[in-house]
Amino acid sequence: MNETTQQSRKRKSPPIFWWSAGMSVILLAMLTWVYYAEPLNELASEYWNDKVVDALNLIAAVAAAALSAMFARQFGTGERPRRIWLAFSIGWWCWVAGELSGFIYDLYYYESGYPDLTLIDLCWSLGYFFFGLSLYYQFRLIYGSTQKRKTIIYFLLLGLGLIVTLGLTQLALQFGLGEGIGWFALYLAVLYPVFDLAEGAAAIWLSFLFGRGQWGRPWWGLIAFAVADGINIYFWIGGYERLPENTALILDVFSTTMYAAGYLVTALALLSNYLMMRHVTVRTQKLQPDTA
């Protein structure tokens, strides 16, 4: 009875986690309300209403990136997991750079619309590269150097993702979507939700490999991004006008919420892992005999 009670206590998350979760819910609710109700449209302008939404997204992005960096620092230079989480952290900071680039582009292109390819695309693409590199290191660590052939699956899935994106791009063109958008820009836009979904699926796979999935959870945010990016890209290439107004509005608000949720889910998962490792480190230090 006592042993069971002690084990259940160990599983309880520290207060800082629940405080962070509560703040995340508040931020998400505030972002959704500002985006839907547009309270600043009359007080200031539509531009500043959008900037408040972008600022809340930036806060969520910085939270994910900062916590990923903190988590990576828990591993020493010689430890193999360090390069996994270091690449993961760089990916999130690339996306923070993408969010910041959006502020700059809005200063010049808010009224006229963005060019087909921007610095934002470069930041997002670099982010996916480092996420993919992190996954590659993760699977190499799991399978070991004696089973290198199994990592071929990684490259096969990468190639499959590129082919699927090509097919979806051509399908969009056949349905008359993407009018006025360059082919490569359209391909790159479709690639985002495909990569989100592929890397999110890999995270689920990692969860099965790790049993309870503690180390796979930081990747779950990419599943939310897959949903958000899929809707946003569909709207961007002209799909918004093909849906009933109410349906399009609901999907628009939903995708905006899911976009921020992707960052926050990642941040909370990283915080949980960070606190768990700190707890294990402290307990280990306490259990070590005093040799002084």
The model's pLDDT over 202-230, given as tens digits with 9 standing for 90+, comes to 777 766 666 555 667 788 888 888 889 88
Does a structural domain hold residue 23? yes
Does a structural domain hold residue 147? yes
Residue 279 in this model has a pLDDT that exceeds 80: no
Read off the pLDDT band of 102 (50, 70, 90).
very high
Residue 162: the pLDDT is: 86
The total of structural domains in the chain comes to 1
Secondary-structure breakdown of the chain: helix, strand, coil percentages, each rounded to the nearest 5: 85, 0, 15
Residue 9 in this model has a pLDDT that exceeds 60: no
- Average pLDDT of the chain? 83
Query: Whole domain around residue 168: which residue ranges?
Result: 17-276
Residue 188: the pLDDT is: 85
Residue 209: the pLDDT is: 66
Does a structural domain hold residue 287? no
% of the chain residues with pLDDT over 70? 83
Location of structure tokens 């959006």: 102
pTM attached to this predicted model: 0.84
Q: Are 241 and 269 in contact (CB under 8 A)?
A: no
Residue 124 in this model has a pLDDT that exceeds 60: yes
Residue 12: the pLDDT is: 63
Does a structural domain hold residue 290? no
44-48, 185-189, 262-266, range with greatest mean pLDDT: 262-266
Residue 262 sits at φ, ψ, to 5 deg, of: -60, -45
How does DSSP classify residue 150? G
The model's pLDDT over 246-264, given as tens digits with 9 standing for 90+, comes to 999 999 999 999 999 999 9
Residue 86 in this model has a pLDDT that exceeds 80: yes
Does a structural domain hold residue 10? no
Query: Distance (Å, rounded) from C-alpha 34 to C-alpha 48?
Result: 11
Higher pLDDT: 284 or 261? It is: 261
Query: Distance (Å, rounded) from C-alpha 83 to C-alpha 155?
Result: 19
Does a structural domain hold residue 286? no
Residue 239 in this model has a pLDDT that exceeds 90: no
Residue 85 in this model has a pLDDT that exceeds 80: yes
Q: For residue 67, count CB atoms less than 10 angstroms from its CB and return exposed for 0-12, middle for 13-18, buried for 19 or more.
A: buried
Residue 147: the pLDDT is: 55
Residue 194: the pLDDT is: 87
Query: Distance (Å, rounded) from C-alpha 206 to C-alpha 222?
Result: 14
Does a structural domain hold residue 219? yes
66-70, 79-83, 105-109, 183-187, range with greatest mean pLDDT: 66-70
Q: Are 80 and 141 in contact (CB under 8 A)?
A: yes
Does a structural domain hold residue 5? no
Read off the pLDDT band of 8 (50, 70, 90).
very low
Residue 19: the pLDDT is: 93
The model's pLDDT over 146-179, given as tens digits with 9 standing for 90+, comes to 555 666 766 777 788 889 889 988 888 888 887 7
